[in-house]
């Protein structure tokens, strides 16, 4: 199985102690977001975990403990954008802090295993296409040699982010303007040895040199593990998503990054309530097990096709 850590929250940034404790214990619990009293017990043995995919805006809390992940293949999806604290409220300064952290992580585990995400892209009176191209160029220049791939996407509207998004009055470019903008991103990235790919986008940007991407990437996992991975498309994701199936271990309403475009939090107040339940020693992230909960062992197995190289 492949672990997604996590599309729902920033575990490396805020809950790395919990995750490392779960690795030591060899299992974790995940509550079903569609059925509050249904909890799955997930075994974390290296024999069944084929790869761990981390999603984060700040992996710094993990940098001194990466050796604890040695039994597991893994890579990072690292979001690094040009937004200020008006959009990404609790992310440290990008140039002073986040770019050096990205570079340090890449030096530790290799550039192929750190994927740069410049997403989601939204356009406002402040964050114009010209602004994004300038910011993207500065980051791409700083990341030259530290990554080989950049994932882009354009912001989507969800019930959870509708109010905050309306407050900043975002607008969309026409398809022609969007294609021209994307082509410039691809050109800038290419000059820095970086390939641009898109994440779950309906628009076809292949003419700009931008292919559809798989964030849970079978080909990358096969290169990292040296094994063929027998896994199908993740049916729980959007039709446009190319990711292979994985097991998500995060919890909604627990991300403290405070991004206005976030689809994983209902409100700041709910995040505060949920985060108050955090216990690094608990088998479940930001929750309590009650008598009404039903815990079942989830059947998991390796997706590797032996023999491995």
Average pLDDT over residues 81-98: 96
Q: How far is CA 208 from CA 4, 177, 213, 245, in A?
A: 30, 12, 14, 28
Domain ranges of the chain: 2-305
- Report residue 158's pLDDT band, with 50, 70 and 90 as the boundaries: low
On the question of pLDDT at 184 being above 70, the answer is yes
pLDDT computed for residue 74 by the predictor: 98
pLDDT computed for residue 202 by the predictor: 78
User: 């850590």: which residue's tokens?
Assistant: 5
Q: With CA atoms as reference, report the closest residue to 14 among 179, 257, 194.
A: 257
- Report residue 111's pLDDT band, with 50, 70 and 90 as the boundaries: very high
On the question of pLDDT at 307 being above 70, the answer is no
> Phi/psi of residue 30, each to 5°?
-130, 125
- Report residue 239's pLDDT band, with 50, 70 and 90 as the boundaries: confident
Average pLDDT over residues 105-115: 98
Average pLDDT over residues 45-57: 97
pLDDT computed for residue 160 by the predictor: 73
pLDDT computed for residue 157 by the predictor: 65
Q: Of 3-17, 32-46, 99-113, 153-167, which gets the smallest average pLDDT? A: 153-167
Higher pLDDT, 168 or 136: 136
Tell me how far the alpha carbon of residue 40 is from its chain's centroid. Answer: 22
pLDDT computed for residue 195 by the predictor: 97
- Report residue 5's pLDDT band, with 50, 70 and 90 as the boundaries: very high
- Report residue 234's pLDDT band, with 50, 70 and 90 as the boundaries: confident
On the question of pLDDT at 91 being above 70, the answer is yes
Phi-psi domain of 27 (left: phi exceeds 0; alpha: psi -120 through 50; beta: other): beta
Count CA within 13 A, CB hemisphere, residue 297.
6
User: 């999603």: which residue's tokens?
Assistant: 55
Average pLDDT over residues 82-99: 96
pLDDT computed for residue 309 by the predictor: 61
Q: With CA atoms as reference, report the closest residue to 81 among 22, 41, 123.
A: 123
Q: Which two tokens stand for residue 309?
A: 């190289």
pLDDT computed for residue 306 by the predictor: 67
pLDDT computed for residue 43 by the predictor: 98
- Report residue 149's pLDDT band, with 50, 70 and 90 as the boundaries: very high
The 3-class SS string of the chain reads: CEEEECCCCCHHHHCHHHHHHHHHHCEEEEECCCCCCEEEEEECCCCCCCEEEEEECCCHHHHHHHHHHCCCCEEEEEECCCCCCCCECCCCCHHHHHHHHHHHHHHHHCHHHEEEEEEEECECCCCCHHHHHHHHHHHHHHHECCECEEEEEECCCCCCCHHHHHHCCCECCCHHHHHHHHHHHHHHHHHCCCEEEECCCCCCCHHHCCEECCCCCHHHHHHHHCCEECCCECCCCCCCCCCECCEECCCCCCCCCCECCCCCCCCHHHHHHHHCCCCCCCCECCCCCCCCCEEEECCCCCCEECCCC
CB atoms within 10 A of CB 304: 21
On the question of pLDDT at 291 being above 80, the answer is yes
- Report residue 133's pLDDT band, with 50, 70 and 90 as the boundaries: very high
Give the span between the Cα atoms of 166 and 157, in whole angstroms: 10
pLDDT computed for residue 39 by the predictor: 97
Mean of all residue pLDDT scores within the chain: 93
Check if the beta carbon of residue 248 is closer than 8 Å to that of residue 6. yes
Give the span between the Cα atoms of 42 and 35, in whole angstroms: 17
On the question of pLDDT at 183 being above 70, the answer is yes
């Amino acid at each position: 199985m492949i672990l997604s850590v996590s599309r729902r929250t920033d575990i490396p940034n805020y809950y790395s102690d919990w995750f490392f404790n779960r690795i030591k214990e060899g299992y974790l619990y995940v509550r079903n977001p569609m059925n509050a009293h249904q909890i799955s017990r997930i075994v974390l043995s290296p024999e069944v975990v084929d790869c761990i995919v981390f999603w984060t805006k700040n992996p710094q809390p993990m940098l001194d403990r990466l050796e604890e992940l040695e039994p597991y293949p893994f890579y990072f999806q690292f979001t690094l954008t040009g937004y200020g604290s008006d959009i990404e409220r609790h992310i440290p300064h990008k140039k002073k802090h986040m770019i050096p952290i990205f570079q340090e992580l890449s030096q530790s585990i290799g550039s192929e295993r750190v994927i740069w995400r410049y997403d989601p892209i939204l356009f406002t009176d402040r964050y114009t296409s010209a602004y994004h191209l300038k910011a993207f160029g500065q980051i791409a220049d700083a990341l030259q040699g530290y990554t080989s791939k950049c994932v882009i996407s354009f912001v989507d509207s969800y019930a959870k982010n509708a109010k905050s998004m309306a407050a900043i009055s975002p607008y969309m470019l026409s398809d022609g303007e969007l294609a021209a903008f994307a082509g410039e991103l691809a050109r800038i990235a290419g000059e820095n040895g970086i390939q641009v790919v898109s994440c779950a986008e309906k628009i076809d940007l292949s003419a700009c040199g931008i292919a559809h991407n798989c964030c849970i990437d079978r080909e990358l996992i096969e290169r990292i593990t040296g094994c063929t991975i027998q896994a199908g498309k993740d049916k729980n994701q959007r039709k446009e998503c190319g990711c292979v199936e994985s097991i998500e271990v995060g919890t909604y309403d627990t991300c403290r990054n405070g991004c206005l475009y976030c689809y994983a939090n209902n409100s700041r107040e709910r995040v505060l309530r949920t985060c108050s339940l955090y216990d690094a020693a608990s088998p479940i992230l930001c929750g309590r097990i009650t008598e009404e909960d039903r815990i079942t062992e989830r059947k998991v197995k390796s997706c590797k096709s032996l023999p491995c190289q």
